[in-house]
Structure formats: structure tokens, C-alpha cells
Structure 1
């Protein structure tokens, strides 16, 4: 039921869509939401254990910094799926009435804040990791001397604080959280007028800025690594762990771009495919942990034939990039990468 003639006493979050709706969730909706949430939670839990074991074995400062960021990303994705998934699954199982359960919109506002907070955190963390890798690759000496490990933790906490402050804006009047169809979730009101438009633009611009920063800095970092690997003295300046981290960061950026662009690009235009775009964005929380899991599996399995094929192809690429300066010895590494090796392996 679309509440178009509600009186002034109607809480703000139900002023556009007010339950009960003329919609009957099917059993498939409950199964889909449950499987989606369980898969995401399990994936992030496994990824967190993988990162924890990796952190215990880490020997380089740059990799320890990067693992702290990855740990913050995994924790954020896990909590986001736990909070929002629990609410959505509970709705599909019990079919509770939001107006009766939450007459003052506190629960709806909490879910709306959670959607914004846990949505922006992966994008902000991706940009922070791109900045950290850009600094580590292009200014390694100054960074290693000036950046203690605890500063990385502070940067993760700062990202969470920024996302939290943005999520609080509708509570203080810049935008507003509203019940969304089919009645299982709340999100900020996407409108082209007033404060709702301002918040929609803030959300969209922050997301697009994070993706743009990640793309630009990661591109520069990759170009730098190619020059280091394939330029003069490349065999003496082995930076296998740098390449490994960049591969993971590039994959994180690509997944975030694919999952979030439909939402952050169209959110200010009141796109009617909001539910689909939200589901696409949520896929980011499920796909991210598989980057770390698959990388770890590739290291444990030691896929030598894949290494040989990829190493051969990339060595040819290095020959073309620096035919005069390449060392006469083949660019091979027993425990790492060959030039720009895409399948990392730990000893």
C-alpha cells in the first residue's frame, strides 16, 4: 500500500511507503536471502582466518600494513552482512509489520545507517589501500621510516569514522531514511528535491571519488612496478611481494567498480532499479573475501604448470618493454613472481 494520504502524525520513514504492503514474500525470497547471507558470512570468516595466519608469518612491513587494511575490509564486510542480512532474513521468515515493531522509526533508521555505513566502508578502504600502496611503491624509504604499524590501524579507524559521519547525516536532517519496497529494508530517500537530493549527491560523489582515486593511483603503481621489474637492474630489484599485493588490490578495485557503479552512478537520478543495484553492491561483500582465499589456495597448491605458462608470457612482455637492458639471465623467481607474475606464491 502506497501511503499517499497519510496524516501528519505518520513517522517520516513511512511517509512514502507505509506497511503493510500488497506484497507477499515467497519462500524463495527467504531461501535466497538466507543463502546469500550465509555464503557471505562464511566466506568472510574463512578469509579472516587466512589473513590472520598470513599476518603471523609476515616478514615485511609493507605486507603487514596491507594485511591490516585487508583485515579491516573483511571485518567490515562480515559485520555488514551480519547486521543487514539478519534483518532481511527475519522479515522474510516472520513477515513482521514494521509499523507495529518500529512505530518511531528507530529500527528503520538503524538499518538505513547500516546500509550506508557498510556500503561506503569498502569503497573508502579501497581508496585508502590504493594510497598506501602508491606511497609504499613510489616512496618506500621515507614511508618505511615515517609510518609505524599503528598508523595503519588509525587509518582504518578513520575510514570507519568518515563512513559513520556520512551515515549520520540523515539523522540530523540532511536527507532521510525511508522504508523501501518490498518492505524488508530501509535506505535513504532517493529524491531530486531538498535535502534528500543533497544526501544522494554526497553518497554518489563519495563513492565515485573513491573509485576514481583507486583507479588513478593503482594505475600509477602498476606502471611503476612494471618499470622496476622490466627496466635496468630488474633482476636485482625483486619486489615480488609488491606485485602480489597490487594484484589483490587491482582485483578488489575491479570488483568494487563492477558492483558499485550501477548504484553510485544512478542514485541521484532516482533510478527505479534501486533494489537490483543494492543487490549488486552487496555482492561486493561476498566476492571480496574470495580474492584472499583463492590467492592462498594458489600458494598452497603451488600450480607449477600455470606458473610456467604465465611466467613465459610475461617474460616475453618484458623483452619487448626493455630489450636492451634486460639481464641475460632469465627473469625467474623460485619463491615469487616472474616479472609481473599474476599468481602469487608464498614459501
Structure 2
């Protein structure tokens, strides 16, 4: 009797989808994970070496703090690709049976946690970097006294801790991890009922909120930085390194938005509409999200002053102002400023002459 019950028992992670699968969609080919894993690991490894060298040469505290965040992002992307890529690659090479290898769903739950943790970390770190840059550009004095190297590292660790807590929620009963087609990976159940609905919305909303916060704060910081560079004190404050950090941060935001928004919106739309998950779209948008971990490192590799100086050698980096990149804009700003000052002086003189004329005519 007990043997019969155990034979008919299906572990929780195989209730919805149970291997083996007869699924041969082209997007499920072994070439995708192999190419993505190789490119991702090499890109992040090169970026990490570049960041170490940049950190050794960094002369400002704000630049050092920003490089710590970037290093945390590179380590996160590297480990995410390494763990998930090894599991998926091993499946395509050996074609192992998940139910035989993992009868208690421990391995499946681990991979599901990995997908959630390493998926949310880049988005949350991007929002954290946007907050740090917002404080550094808009509130420089508060930043000097509030943010230190130790606190910067603590902020990275806090992001990892929060993402880890979210990834553990399905093990606590809020949501559930399940085997996904074509049988090479596990992810949380994108369902429209009960705890699966709640966890799906948590994952989607956390990602979308991080992207929205990054967009708003980066926009404000960029506008403030342009005003500072266009102001009268542009010759007194070096802003090249801040421009470099803002360019990198904006590119990180653009890449994250393009890669992650389709998946996050697809999850929210699926659970709110109550329709069944279409596996071909889920696999497609997961591939898009994986591209974020591949493209991010090239932002740090290519968009640096040392590289841009080689591409555009005629640019005078020693002048320390973004306005030197746009001499026509600089001349326009000067002409507008001079014309406005001249107009103001003329109007003031006209008012004074009018008052003097009226005074002389009084009895």
C-alpha cells in the first residue's frame, strides 16, 4: 500500500509540468544557453578586470563608491550566468531526468531561487546606484557625511539580502517553484490564483518599480549635472568623472529597460488577465532578460574616458567640462546670457531715466 502511494506521489515542483517533455521549439535549442553563457562569462570577467584597474586609479571618493556598486553588479551577473548556465548546459549535454535526479525538488527549488535572486539583483542595484548618484549630484554635502566606503559595501550586501529574502518566499509558502518546459530550468509558477498570483505580482512590481525609480532619479541627476556644467562655475569644478558615471548609469538603465520590461510586463499581464502562460513567449522574454547580463559589462568596458579619448582624440579632457564637447552650445549659452544681461541693463536704465524725467517735471 505504501509502495503504491509513493509510486503515485508527484512532488510539488512537477505537479504542473512533469518531465520528460516532447518539446522541440527552436528557441529551446542548446545553442542559446551555450552561446549566452560563454558571452556572459567572458564579458563579465573582462569587465571585472577593468573595474579593478579603474578602482586602483580612482582619485575621488564618489568614483570609488560608484565602482564598488559596479563591481557588485558584475559579480552578480557573473554568478547568475555561471549557476544557471551550468545547470541548463548540463541538461542539454546529459539529458538527465529531473524526477530521478531530484525527487524531492531541492535542486529545482535552488534553480528557481537562483533565477529570482540573480534576476532582481541587477535591477535593485541599478536603482541603488541611481539613488547614490542623485545624492552625489544634487546633495553633495549630505553625501560627503552620509556615504562612506563601508556603507557603500553595506548597501550592496543589503540589496543581496533583500533579493535573497524575496527568492525565499516560495519556500515559505508564498508562491511555488515548478519545472518549466522544455525541462531544462525551474522558475516560479506564473499563476492567477492564490499565492502564485501574489508572488508573481511581487516579482513583476519590484522589477518595474526599480526601473521607474532609476528613470526618475537619473533624469533629475542628468538635468542637474547639465545645469552645473553650463553654469558660471564650470571652470572651477571638474565634472568629467561625473559625466562618465551618468553616461554609464543611463546606459545601464536603457539596457535593463529593454531586456527586462517585456518579461515583467508579460508576467503581470498574464496573471492579471487569468490566461494560461504561453511557453514560447516566456522563453523568448527570458532570453531577452538574460541579454541584460551580457550587455551590462560592455558599458563599463567601452564607455570610459580612456576608451572615448582614443575614439575622439581631439576632445580636450583637461578642461574638465562637458561644454567643451559642444562648443556651439557653449557659444549659444554665452550669447543668450549676454543678450539677457544687456536687455536687463537697458530696461533698468530706461526706468531710471523715466523716473528722473518725471522728478524734474514735478513743481
TM-score norm. by structure 2 comes to: 0.83
2:281 aligned with 1:281 = no
Deviation of 1:304 after TM superposition, in Å, equals: 3.2
Contact 1:50 1:296 in 2 (8 A): no
Deviation of residue 307 (structure 1)?
Answer: 3.7
Residue in 1 aligned with 2:57? 57
Does 1:314 pair with 2:326? Answer: yes
Q: What is the aligned partner in structure 2 of residue 219 from structure 1?
A: 219
CA RMSD of aligned residues (A): 2.3
Distance 1:75 1:58 in 2: 20
Deviation of 1:55 (Å): 0.4
For residue 30 of structure 2, give the secondary structure of its aligned residue in structure 1.
helix
Q: Is the 8 A contact 2:45 2:78 kept in 1?
A: yes
Offset of residue 213 of structure 1: 0.4
What corresponds to 1:150 in structure 2?
150
Q: Tell me the SS of whatever aligns to 2:44.
A: helix
Q: Which residue of 1 aligns with 2:74?
A: 74
Q: Which residue of 2 aligns with 1:292?
A: 300
Match of 2:357 in 1: none
Larger Rg: 2
Query: What stretches of structure 1 of length at least 5 have no aligned partner?
Result: 1-6, 327-347
TM-score, reference length from structure 1: 0.87
1:186 counterpart residue number: 186
Q: Provide the C-alpha distance between the structure 2 equivalents of 1:141 and 1:284, rounded to a whole number of angstroms.
A: 34
Cα pair distance change 1:126/1:26, threshold 3 Å: closer
Aligned residue in 1 for 2:207? 207
- Tell me, in whole angstroms, the C-alpha distance in 1 between the residues paired with 2:125 and 2:145: 23
| Shift in CA distance, 247/306, structure 1 to aligned 2, threshold 3 Å | farther
8 Å Cα contact 1:229/1:238 also seen in 2: no
- How many aligned positions are there? 320
* 1:240 Cα offset (Å): 1.2
- Secondary structure of the residue aligned to 1:302 is helix
**Structure 2 counterpart of 1:262:** 262
Alpha-carbon distance in structure 2 between the residues aligned to 1:305 and 1:49? 24
* Distance change >3 Å, CA 233–CA 311, structure 1 → 2: closer
Taking the aligned partners of 2:308 and 2:238, their CA distance within structure 1 comes to 21
Match of 1:20 in 2: 20
Question: Cα–Cα, structure 1 residues 236 and 312, in superposed 2: closer, same or farther, change >3 Å?
Answer: closer
What stretches of structure 2 of length at least 5 have no aligned partner? 1-6, 271-276, 317-321, 339-363
Q: Report the equivalent of 1:339.
A: none
Q: Contact 2:48 / 2:71 at 8 angstroms: preserved in 1?
A: yes
How many angstroms apart in 1 are the aligned matches of 2:204 and 2:27? 34
Question: For 1:178 and 1:252, how far apart are their aligned partners in 2?
Answer: 31
Partners of 1:28 and 1:179 in 2: CA distance: 14
- Output the CA distance in 2 between the equivalents of 1:169 and 1:77: 22
CA contact (8 A) 1:37 1:85 kept: yes
Residue 39 to residue 92, structure 1, CA distance change in 2 (3 Å)? same
Closer, same or farther: CA 79–60 of 1 in aligned 2, 3 Å = same
Deviations 1:101-153 (A, max 9, x none): 11111000000000000000000000000000000001112211232211000
Instruction: Indicate the larger mover: 186-195 or 264-273.
Output: 264-273
Residue in 1 aligned with 2:349? none
More helix by share: 2
Confirm or deny: 8 A CA contact 1:115 1:187 kept in the other structure.
yes
Residue of structure 1 equivalent to 2:229: 229
Q: 1:293-344 CA distances to partner (integer Å, 9 max, x unpaired)? A: 1124853862335748x97762323444564448xxxxxxxxxxxxxxxxxx
